């Protein structure tokens, strides 16, 4: 079976993790600090704050901004449910916005349509690694006096107007889940340009402690920490960070290979009548974290039919990006009108794409999809 994704991990990562184990310092420590700095530089950000995953990064970002009960945060429904859940964690209400049919991202127009007097923030997602139009969404948020948080979970290595995708963002949250191009198993990062925010975020991720365990150990002598506010346990381990440092060095080659394979997909799948493939918007480039396609209008089956047909032919695919407002957890918000979101989630599938993929495997995927769309047995 050809998988949707195969993490690109090897001996270097294994040795880096083993070195941490041998060092005796495995919790958050010097390698986390090194990874924070290296990732921030790669992302074009002033500060990096390592966390346990992207969801906790979004949670911390909203907590930092003071978002809470009575507030509304505009989010896309067309996203993994964690985007909306982070709003719930701080007691606020997620308000779903529709997305652009080509990019799968919110726009200034779709966000504006969802803003109310209670809106205090927007979480905009670089969906599947496709950058959203940052300048226009930021301009809207500035005009409305609301904060913008980037959900950059899938976007490491994507670009916006020639720069790293969330370069200069006030707050951006990143994921290092195994499905991402850069993985630490689990793990995440918050990047920001605000040094004061970074200092507070580092305290908040570690129970609100005034001095981290690593800093207390390095200082020597008797140092008693204080707990200045109620915080969280959202730390990354040095083992994860050691793997992340190796992965970060590989990232440019991984992206180049994925874009090469995506280009080949575009050429081959372009011959399937009516099929539309995800691609670069005019203002940036995608890292192709996910290669999703929208099924032809003439195809009378469903995306589930396509997934089943591909599986029968040895290809593991996934449903397109979920529509969170259609999930049971958000049943109370199903009356919202999101026609583009619902069309994309029902008519799209994610095809296999990974660094080690061969042309023969791609040919198998394309052939299988062609057969399913034609109704072949």
Per-residue pLDDT of 332-369, as tens digits, reads: 888 899 999 999 999 999 999 999 999 999 999 999 99
Residue 76 pLDDT > 70: yes
CB crowding 258-293: b at 16 or more within 10 Å, else e: bbebbeebeebbeebeebbbbbbbebbbbbbbbbbb
pLDDT at 212 over 80: no
Rounded distance between C-alpha atoms, residue 253 and residue 251, angstroms: 6
Instruction: Answer whether 237's CB lies under 8 Å from 32's CB.
Output: yes
Taking alpha carbons only, the member of 327, 363, 358 closest to residue 345 is 327
Q: Quick check: helix, strand or coil at residue 318? A: strand
- The dihedral region occupied by 104, where left means phi > 0, alpha psi between -120 and 50, and beta the remainder, is left
pLDDT of residue 259: 98
Give the C-alpha distances (Å, rounded to integers) separating 246 from 28, 31, 55, 229: 17, 11, 23, 35
CA-based nearest residue to 165, from 174, 338, 81:
174
3 state SS for 196-215: HHHHHHHHHCECCECCCHHH
pLDDT tens column, 132-150: 999 999 999 999 999 999 9
Q: Could you say which of 180, 223, 257, 377 is catalytic?
A: 180
Pick from 215, 170, 175: nearest CA to 197: 170
CA angle 238, 179, 327 (to 5 degrees): 115
Query: Whole-angstrom Cα distance, residue 214 to residue 30?
Result: 7
Q: Residue 238 corresponds to which tokens in the numbers above?
A: 């040095």
Distances (CA, A) of 350 to 156, 221, 304, 315: 19, 55, 12, 11
Report the C-alpha gap between 173 and 151 in whole angstroms: 5
- H helices of 220-302, in order, are 238-269
Is residue 180 annotated as a catalytic residue, yes or no?
yes
Q: How far apart are CA 28 and CA 33, in angstroms?
A: 8
Can you say whether the dihedral through the CA atoms of 311, 306, 326, 108 is positive or negative? positive
Predicted local distance difference test score (pLDDT) of residue 222: 61
CA separation for the pair 284, 35 (Å, rounded)? 26
The count of residues in the chain is 377
- Residues 248-302 pLDDT 10s: 999 999 999 999 999 999 999 999 999 999 999 999 999 999 999 999 999 999 9
Mean pLDDT of 304-321: 96
DSSP 8-state assignment for residue 323: B
The arithmetic mean of pLDDT across residues 70-81, rounded, is 98
Q: What is the mean pLDDT of residues 169-186?
A: 97
- Do residues 124 and 137 make contact, with C-beta atoms less than 8 angstroms apart? yes
Token pair in block for residue 3: 């998988």
Summarize the confidence of residues 190-217 as an average pLDDT. Answer: 89
Evaluate if residue 377 carries a pLDDT over 50.
no
- What is the rounded distance in angstroms from the CA atom of residue 82 to the CA atom of residue 332? 17
């Amino acid at each position: 079976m050809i998988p949707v994704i195969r993490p690109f991990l090897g001996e270097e990562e294994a040795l880096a993790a083993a070195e941490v184990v041998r060092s005796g310092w495995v919790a958050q420590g010097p390698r986390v600090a090194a990874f924070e700095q290296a990732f921030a530089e790669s992302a074009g950000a002033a500060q990096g704050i390592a966390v346990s995953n992207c969801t906790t990064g979004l949670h911390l970002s909203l907590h930092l901004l003071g978002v809470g009960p009575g507030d509304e945060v505009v989010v896309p429904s067309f996203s993994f449910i964690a985007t909306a859940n982070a709003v719930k964690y701080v007691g606020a209400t997620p308000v779903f916005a529709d997305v652009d049919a080509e990019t799968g991202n919110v726009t200034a127009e779709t966000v504006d349509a969802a803003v109310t007097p209670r809106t205090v923030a927007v979480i905009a997602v670089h969906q599947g690694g496709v950058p959203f139009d940052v300048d226009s969404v930021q301009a809207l948020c500035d005009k409305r006096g609301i904060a913008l948080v980037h959900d950059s979970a899938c976007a490491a290595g994507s670009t916006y107007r020639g720069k790293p995708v969330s370069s200069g963002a006030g707050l951006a949250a990143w994921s290092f889940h195994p499905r991402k191009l850069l993985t630490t198993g689990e793990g995440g990062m918050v990047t920001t340009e605000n040094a004061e925010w970074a200092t507070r975020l580092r305290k908040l991720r570690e129970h609100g402690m005034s001095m981290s365990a690593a800093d207390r150990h390095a200082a020597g002598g008797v140092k008693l920490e204080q707990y200045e506010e109620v915080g969280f346990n959202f730390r990354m381990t040095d083992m994860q960070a050691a793997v992340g440092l190796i992965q970060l060095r590989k990232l440019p080659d991984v992206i180049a290979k994925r874009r090469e394979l995506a280009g080949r997909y575009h050429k081959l799948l372009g011959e399937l009548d009516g099929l539309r493939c995800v691609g670069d918007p005019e203002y940036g480039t995608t890292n192709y974290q996910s290669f999703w396609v929208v099924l032809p209008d003439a195809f009378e089956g469903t995306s589930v039919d396509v997934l089943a047909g591909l599986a029968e032919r040895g290809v593991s695919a996934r449903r397109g990006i979920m529509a969170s407002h259609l999930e049971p957890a958000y049943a109370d918000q199903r009356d919202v009108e999101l026609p583009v979101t619902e069309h994309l989630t029902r008519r799209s599938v994610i095809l296999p794409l990974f660094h080690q993929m061969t042309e023969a495997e791609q040919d198998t995927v394309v052939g299988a999809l062609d057969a399913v769309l034609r109704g072949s047995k």
